[in-house]
Amino acid sequence: QVQLVESGGGLVQTGGSLRLSCAASGRTISRFAMGWFRQAPGKEREFVAAISWSGSIRYDEDSVKGRFTISRDNAKNTVYLQMNSLKPEDTAVYYCAAGVRGPAKGVTEYSYWGQGTQVTVSS
């Protein structure tokens, strides 16, 4: 079992930055692909970014390209999402997830999920 705990969310103004962290426990995540997803009220959970176990492969959703960066530190069993130039439409609960397959964009590709952290961007 892998337990994931997100942190770093909060309230920020348009154009601001936040750095989300996802700390894992129970098992090392060094052989897991990791992903970040988000869910706004009334909407389905959507893909944001994913990274392979080695960090060599990364995918970003089109709307966050050039603004968000996913990274990982396997020694710390932690994954990060650096979010810059935030927009009101980025407001959502952000979830991290771990999967045994390669980095993927589908929700069903991930076996373990955190509880989420709220990100609110004010205009």
Q: Give the tens place of pLDDT for each residue, 70-123.
A: 999 999 999 999 999 999 999 999 999 999 988 899 999 999 999 999 999 999
**Mean model confidence pLDDT for the chain:** 96
How far is Cα 92 from Cα 121, in angstroms, rounded to an integer? 9
**Backbone phi, then psi, for 52, in 5-degree steps?**
-75, 170
Strands 92-99 vs 112-113: parallel, antiparallel or unpaired? antiparallel
Q: In the chain, what percentage of residues exceed pLDDT 90?
A: 90
Q: Tell me, rounded to whole angstroms, the distance of Cα 114 from its chain centroid.
A: 10
Q: Which two tokens stand for residue 3?
A: 């337990």
* Type of residue found at 55: G
